[in-house]
Structure 1
Amino acid sequence: MGKGTSQYELIEILSPEKTIKMKPPQKVFEGEPS
């Protein structure tokens, strides 16, 4: 179960990190209309 918990924690940390990293670029593109 130790490995399972580690994987779940990694997924939970990667999910928010990816969402946060993907959100800033999108907002910047929308804020700066070409």
Structure 2
Amino acid sequence: MDLPVMPPVKPMLAKSVSTIPPDMSYEAKWDGFRAIV
């Protein structure tokens, strides 16, 4: 199988912030959750 990234892939951890940086936007994810399989 050809993968775009070869394992092991470390997950990106969530970080709590008080406000969203002005050059970024927030979009709620309603269709499930992200996972590394």
The TM tier, using the shorter chain, reads under 0.3
Larger Cα-atom Rg: 1
Higher relative contact order (CA 8 A, sep 6+): 2
Q: TM-score, structure 1 length as denominator? A: 0.18
* Structure (1 or 2) with the greater helix fraction: 1
